[in-house]
Structure 1
Amino acid sequence: MIAGVLLSSGGCSGDSNARKQKYFESGQQYFQAGKYQEATIQFLNAIQVDTSFAAAHYQLARCYLRQKLLSSAYRELAVTVQLDPKNWQAQLDFAGLLFRSGQFSDARARAASILEDNPTEPGAQLLLATSDGELGNLRLAIDEAQRGVELAPDKPAPYVTLGLLQEKAQQLNLAEQNLEKAVSLDAKFLPARMGLGTFYQRRGRWQDAEAQFRAGIEADNSDPLPRSALSALYFGWGKKDLAEKTLQEAKKAIPNDPAAYRLLGDFYVASGETGKALNEFALLSQEHPDDLAVKKRHIGLLIGNKQYDKATALDDEILKQNSKDAEALLLKGETLNLEQRFAEAVPVLEASGRSNPDDPAAHFQLGLAYFRNGNLDGAEREWRESVRLKPSLLEAQQNLAMLELRKGDMRQLEQSASDLLKYAPSAPQGYLARGLVRMKRGEFAGAESDLRRTIELDPRNAMAYTRLGDISLTQQRFAEAENFYEQALAQDPRSPEALQGLVTQFLLQKQPVKARQRVEAQVARVPDQSSFQYLLGKTLLADHKTAEAAAALTKALELDPKNLSASLLLGQAQEASGQLDQAASAYEHAMQANAGNAQPYVFLGALEEHRGNWQKAQDLYRKALKLQPDQSAAANNLSYLLLEHGGDINDALSLAQIAHDGMPQSPNAADTLAWAYYKMGSYNSALPLLQEAVKKAPQNATYYYHLGLVYQKTKKVAQAKNSFQRALQLDPKSPRAEEIRRALAELNTPPS
């Protein structure tokens, strides 16, 4: 019985080996014939039979490289070198791909590792040199390239590498000599022709460069690279017609090579001829219906041209054939994002990420969809993954900085600023982020320098003007602040931060009418902005125009029912004018429109407390704390109600401590915590808190009453009398007035 099982197992293993080898050999044949898509399918079949088949993973990586599918090639090379670390060619290809993706330090480390076991491997030696060249270590790089020449003195590649590094080091005569040496060793070695031609082009020696690129075409008429270089040369030379003609000829001369027949369409894209590009890729899609890269390029152009319906139709054709095509899913998700169908975009982009977890663009787009759906944690997670995979992805870095600013996470914002400045030193976003960090730290001179640099690089950056206004406002340079805020609004008439800054600087100068008039002018210009209607309501309240304020706040909520600030301020305005039912409705609306936000519960709780409905107020505060356990105002108010209405003193103390931790400067929180200590008999703990409270709020009768009781319990009669008398003086009609008078009478009665 056991022997039978073993034989059966052995037979299955043999079948599996035969099947995977058959797929592998078929893939090899397709690869040799240049049929890379067919080869890809066969190598995938072989891997499906045996996931640890290192040779199939490597050949699959080579197929992806030939098809310019670099992310997929990266993934397969990573698997290959993990399964077969001694496959030095795979190691070298992987290091080369790291270099191509800008990961020069990693490429250098892998090249150095290869050389430890293969010290005479010229390919690794040259990759080490070029990596050091990109890292700025030119002197070392040149020495390493010369070592490459010593390893292969009769090969052209080392001379090309050395010559290009010498050109970078401005050793131009030596560079030209070595590039010419490479050509002399092998006149048909394209990198030599390309290197020398590019050298001439950078020197403005157009005819010499043209001769080299044409010689490259003659050397290998089937390679599109010299034709592409010749077209770029003509374009830079100001001969656009010749550039276009060269690529038209490439398409005819090499009709079956995707890298050749796509050149013309890519040229139209690069030169901004969108109509020609769309027509060219539409034609290519018909001529090469099996070339998914062409179809996807066409879809991308349609998306960029806002032809979303056409893009979706073509995308669905691809997904009908392969529902897990990562790039097609990404294109569809991007389209849904652009159509603002964010909820629909999420599952599509999640599927794209599952199909290709190493694609930074998929993580970026999924982050956008999460953000627009209110999932900030998900957005942050996806954007962090996208910049981990591609640190130079500026949009993701910028969005992370925006999130970090919103959260007040200065440590992470500082890191994002550093990354932005590292990967894009001439882009404004890094200076803006660093300026915001410096502002938060109070380093205003450095912040101002960064913000001014932001404006130099991006003169229309409204946020930079706004933050310069904030700095001027902090330093009470009001005229300068006003000017910066006005410049911000000139660049972005819908900027709520800039208009808020203007309002604040007018109010600080005790000019509420000017504040209101400025907001009214902006509302007339942008009447559909909810945040502006909110600011109008705020300035009208400051000018004691309650009815007009309520109308503006109502308008703000019509424009944006989720405008929490408008709901709460409307409720406060209605409370102030005695419209308690309407105020309650405003807070209830805020609860429904902002599910998960604790603030409306706190405001409604305070209203019910004012009405005398303390049990209902307690329930509302508890709901607020369930949503946000550290909500300081809810903790404070609930604690006080428990203390006043016979609730659990230990619970009250715990809540009061939460409130005081969250609002350490609040005299109200200090009083509540002191009152809890008083109720527990901890008078010495209560005393400094009440002393702090009356110092910060010397007009509050309740605080003096509580302080008097503590003094009374600690036998400090004179201080107790003074405190009670001050409480009566501040509020002689207080509900506690009779209790205070009795306490004073007791203190004035001599002991028997």
Structure 2
Amino acid sequence: MAKRSGFCAVLAVCFLTAMLTGCSQDPNVRKQKYLESGQRYYDRGKYREAAIQYENAIQVDARFAEAHYKLALAEMKLQQWNDAFQQLTRTIELQPENYAAHLDMANMLIASRPPQLNEAKEHLDLLTQKQAENPEVFVALANYHAVNNAMGPALAAMQTALRLDPNRSDSYLNMALLQVRVEQWDAAEASYRKAVELSPNSTNALVSLGNFYQVRGRFPDAEQQYRRAIDSAPTDPEPRGSLARLYLAENKFNQAEELLKQAKKDFPDNSTGYRMLGDFYFANNRLDQATTEYASLYQDHPKDLTVKKYYVQLLILKDRIDEAAKLNEEVLKVAADDADALICKGQIEIHRGKASAAINTLQGVLKNEPANAVAHYQLGLAFDLAGNLSHAEAEWRESIRLRPDLSDAHRALAGAAIRRSDPNALALEADQIIQQQPESADGYLLRAVAEIDRKQFAAAEDYIKRSIQRASNNAAAYVQLGNLRMAQNNLSEAQKAFQQALDLDPNSTDALGGVLNVYLIQKQIDKALSVANAQLAKYPKNAGFHIIVGRLLFEQKKDAAGAETEFRRATELDKNNVEALVSLGRVQADQGKQDEALQTYLDGAKSNPRETVFYLLAGGIYESKQDWDKAKQVYQRVLEIQPDNPLASNNLAYVILQQGGNVDVALAMAQTARRQLPDNPSSADTLGWAFYHKGVYNSAITLFKEAVKKEPENATYNYHLGLAYVRSGQAAQARQQLDRVVKIKPDSSEANDLKQALAQLKG
């Protein structure tokens, strides 16, 4: 009997084990366990862990609609909007009557940048039909109308939501926001207060009422609500952030700082809480303090990806690129598809001058997130680095379309307008910056630049004054005031303004340049050089000052050797300074040091591989040496970087003709260059030379005459015109051109060639 009982016990254990094993293999049981585990994580606020469990459930059953929906909710909490959108789409495909998913989808489409209102309307039409008693549906409908600027229907929809559930606090908050939009201040306050009455411990309601009071300038009332929110939710850091922002609005910087220092201590395990101090420094442009704070946070929380990503951004801003790259790689090892980290990678590549790599990286981000405005903005910077300004501007405009409040993109477009000498476009971008950041000085300053260019001097002065009111110690404002006075031909006041700018920023090359320009206009060359040398003596490591002194020596004193010394020193201080390298090469070439100049340009191209000016200047020297193969190589390199560069097209066409290459190819390139450079004598000469080789002499003569008219002392242009006269049988005119070439360059090969051509014509 005992043996039988033992056998039964063993049998029972085996049976139980088999049951458990069988259950663990049952897909329905497994997916449900993953779902329940995910829900436990979700309820505890661990959304990333919850998302992993929901994904596990979906791996077991790809058609598990509930898991797709739960994953969408987790992704929304993580602000992974693209992933959330995909999961909501899949949920609705699998479960068309999941009205909660339709509602979440509608809200996401309304809140997207730009809003996708047509798609949102489809979901709302379904919801108002199928969920006519759900107040949240009418809240969404109200927001839809508000985004469409249809405030009457928006307020009516909110009234319906309140009628359906008059005790829902969040509905009153939404109503209050709409009432603020239409400036119904008393009604808005009543709605906010009703929301607090219904949910007296809701941090959202209390903070919203506090925000309203702050906007209305009722700072004590705002502080009272923020403190109530802090007391109601001592474990939530957000109300403290609101109180800190209030202190800033009251110019109580120290109180805000102390509050956030305490918050860091109070929330040692809450990322939002311990990051607030660093974010506060960053928001107030205290980059050194922000960087130090995030360095500390990185040491204390080495696994916090948000800390790492913010720290990377700060390192980039501080130009600590190698450190930023190393840390960003840590992020990408953990999250290879993280859009923020990939954008940082693109920024790092831009800082390293790797335009092509940055373009590839950022285009990869946009392939997955085509509506990422920041990626479009950074891609614009990459295209600009590559020398493709038109593509850059297109990306900046797209970033603004997606996020109209992206002021950096407006600033980039303003910079492009300045480079294109387009004051009207500059004024438009400046107005956008002023509208979005009315307390920022630079918008007014950019507007002033546009008005100076348009000779609207009174308007320019007004904008400069408004800029100075917002940043009285901004040297750039006084530089523009100096430029305005120069345009008004008021040299004494211009000098005062430039000097004030230099006093505010003794390292400013613009300010020093303005001071010197006044002296040069007054023909006080020695005074200008004395002032420049004095400023350089104070700041000997300022490469820009060495360039300024070098230019004065070269252009005003004809001291090429002294200028070369200054330009060389500038390149030693800043090895990648394009202006210094170009100036050094030119002064070397002017002294007949062609080989040294060539090496300077090649070194410049090596340091700045996307900077076309070095290849163009090197090509000119190769042409003077008649090294056509190398000239061809450097011009082709320019066209690889900038396919529409007219100078490279022009010069390459000329080289092809000199090498006896394909005349039709050269002609096409010369015509392209001529269209872009219609007033350039070199483009006229090259196109004329192509027509000459095609035997179209009359067209060639017309172009050569235009080139000679603009540069009458250019021996090559006169030589080409003489040859064309010879080929067209115009001996007298050819003889005149021969005399002209001999006078300009008596022993030149061009003169001898033209003599031989004339002799053949006479024979």
1:233 to 224, 244, 258: 224
Distance in 2, matches of 1:528 and 1:32, equals 59
Displacement of 1:692 in angstroms is 0.4
1:475-520: per-residue Cα shift (whole Å, max 9, x none)?
A: 7665565555445444444343444455556556655444433432
1:201-255: per-residue Cα shift (whole Å, max 9, x none)?
A: 9889999x7xxxxxxxxxxxxxxxxxxx7xx3277xxxxxxx5xx687557xx5x
Which residue in 2 is equivalent to 1:220?
none
1:143 to 156, 161, 167: 156
Letter in 2 for 1:540: L
1:281 to 251, 264, 279: 264
Q: How many pairs align?
A: 685
- What value does the CA root-mean-square deviation take over the aligned residues? 5.1
Alpha-carbon distance change, 349 to 415 in structure 1, aligned in 2, over 3 angstroms: farther
Aligned partners of 1:553 and 1:566 also within 8 Å? yes
Displacement of 1:133 in angstroms is 5.6
Distance in 2, matches of 1:332 and 1:186, equals 38
Distance in 1, matches of 2:194 and 2:601, equals 81
Which residue in 2 is equivalent to 1:129?
142
Which residue in 1 is equivalent to 2:368?
none
Q: Which moved more, 1:683-692 or 1:170-179?
A: 170-179
Alignment of 1:298-309 (within 5 A): 304=290, 306-307=292-293, 309=295
Structure 2 residue ranges without an equivalent (≥5) = 1-21, 248-252, 282-288, 364-373, 379-398
Aligned partners of 1:58 and 1:77 also within 8 Å? no
- Partner of 2:56, secondary structure, is helix
Which residue in 1 is equivalent to 2:236?
259
Alpha-carbon distance change, 701 to 147 in structure 1, aligned in 2, over 3 angstroms: same
2:634 to 619, 623, 634: 623
1:520-539: per-residue Cα shift (whole Å, max 9, x none)?
A: 24323432121221121111
Aligned partners of 1:404 and 1:412 also within 8 Å? no
Distance in 2, matches of 1:62 and 1:83, equals 11
Percent of pairs identical after alignment?
30
Distance in 2, matches of 1:151 and 1:639, equals 77
Displacement of 1:146 in angstroms is 3.0
Distance in 1, matches of 2:403 and 2:681, equals 47
Letter in 1 for 2:321: F
Displacement of 1:560 in angstroms is 1.0
- Partner of 2:267, secondary structure, is helix
Displacement of 1:540 in angstroms is 0.6
Aligned partners of 1:394 and 1:420 also within 8 Å? no
2:706 to 684, 692, 708: 692
TM-score (norm 1): 0.73
Aligned partners of 2:707 and 2:717 also within 8 Å? yes
1:568 to 582, 589, 595: 582
Is it true that 1:522 corresponds to 2:529 in the alignment?
no
- Partner of 2:541, secondary structure, is coil
Which residue in 2 is equivalent to 1:87?
98
Distance in 2, matches of 1:269 and 1:602, equals 53
Structure 1 residue ranges without an equivalent (≥5) = 1-10, 210-228, 236-242, 319-324
Distance in 2, matches of 1:423 and 1:539, equals 42
Displacement of 1:686 in angstroms is 0.2
Asked which structure has the greater RCO (Cα within 8 Å, sep 6+), the reply is 2
1:41-69: per-residue Cα shift (whole Å, max 9, x none)?
A: 5334334544664433433454577xxx4
2:34 to 2, 20, 23: 23
Is it true that 1:71 corresponds to 2:79 in the alignment?
yes
Displacement of 1:696 in angstroms is 0.9
Is it true that 1:312 corresponds to 2:312 in the alignment?
no
1:43 to 30, 48, 54: 54
Alpha-carbon distance change, 57 to 274 in structure 1, aligned in 2, over 3 angstroms: farther
- Partner of 1:259, secondary structure, is coil
Distance in 2, matches of 1:503 and 1:414, equals 28
Distance in 2, matches of 1:451 and 1:328, equals 39
Which residue in 2 is equivalent to 1:391?
403
Letter in 1 for 2:161: G
Q: Which moved more, 1:687-696 or 1:665-674?
A: 665-674
Alpha-carbon distance change, 367 to 416 in structure 1, aligned in 2, over 3 angstroms: farther
Distance in 2, matches of 1:412 and 1:571, equals 35
Distance in 2, matches of 1:724 and 1:342, equals 60
Displacement of 1:389 in angstroms is 10
Aligned partners of 1:397 and 1:420 also within 8 Å? no
Distance in 1, matches of 2:421 and 2:185, equals 49
Which residue in 1 is equivalent to 2:547?
534
Alpha-carbon distance change, 605 to 176 in structure 1, aligned in 2, over 3 angstroms: closer
Which residue in 2 is equivalent to 1:556?
570
1:342 to 299, 321, 326: 321
Distance in 1, matches of 2:300 and 2:730, equals 86
Which residue in 1 is equivalent to 2:12?
none
Is it true that 1:590 corresponds to 2:604 in the alignment?
yes
TM-score (norm 2): 0.72
Alpha-carbon distance change, 46 to 417 in structure 1, aligned in 2, over 3 angstroms: farther
Letter in 2 for 1:17: N
Displacement of 1:668 in angstroms is 3.1
